[in-house]
Amino acid sequence: MNTNQINALTDDSRRLVALEAVHNFRDLGGYPTASGQTTKWQTLFRADGLYRLTPQDAQRVIDLGIQTVVDLRTAKEVDTRGTFPVKEFPVTFHHLPIIDATWNDGDTPLIEDTVEFLVWAYSEMLENAHQKFVSAIELLGSKDVLPAVFHCAAGKDRTGVLAAFILSILGVPDEVICADYGITERGMKRLIEWAKVKQPELADAYANMPPRFAASDPRAMAVILDGLKKKYGSTQNYLREIGVSEATFTSLQNSLLTN
């Protein structure tokens, strides 16, 4: 698949769900797979911090048919910033923290190169949080969950790895998975511009943050997926190895693919 074809997929006007205070809410539909099928639109979404949703935004999410919200953030993030407004809007909410501490709160090595840093960070997640990813994948493959959205703070790292795993299960090519991960960069720019007006303290936090913390370089995801392929034969084989069941593979493929 060439660059123009991939760009046409990521730039599809249906992909970004335009909201006022959430800037990286994206539909995972419309991607081709190895089987010749396509991922379904309006069935599974990835997003950034849904705690920022305005009431109008939240209603838009409900109008998409969302049944389930999966929050991948830490307990501290949830306690500090809140969650999707579950009391006002009818969804089933699951808090499944992938990591115990964010990069700002944890110990991170001084790696200046962006790709090298992201590869380190994602490798750490795979090493220490693989069972958390299994739990999230099994949840999304269970009955009566979809349509669903999963999210973290920026919709980039925890969300990006989980999206890569789901798309791999569906048979989406690695180059498309990496491109989908990379378009988070646009969401980050939208978030920062919005924050300058609406939440200056958040804009200041990003301004004072090492740039690599906010990056979503597709080359980093490519390194991670290539590493899994070399070690396990495929990302699908890796996911089986860490405990994702064949029933979940089948359920996700049945629910999220269309001819």
Maximum alpha-carbon separation in the chain: 47
Structure tokens at 62: 């409900």
Pairing between strand 148-151 and 68-71? parallel
Share of the chain above pLDDT 70, in %: 98
- Tell me, what's the pLDDT at 104? 67
Length of the chain: 259
0.85 exceeded by pTM: yes
- Tell me, what's the pLDDT at 105? 61
> CA-CA distance, 239 to 247, in Å (whole number)?
13
CATH of the domain at 51: 3.90.190.10
Average pLDDT over residues 234-243: 98
- Tell me, what's the pLDDT at 194? 93
Asked whether the beta carbons of 115 and 219 are under 8 A apart, the reply is yes
pLDDT per residue as tens digits for the range 98-157: 998 887 666 677 788 999 999 999 999 999 999 999 999 999 999 999 999 999 999 999
Average pLDDT over residues 55-73: 97
pLDDT per residue as tens digits for the range 75-92: 999 999 999 999 999 999
Residues 242-252: b if buried by 16+ CB within 10 A, e if exposed: eebeeebbebb
Domain count, the chain: 1
Domain that holds residue 16: 3-258
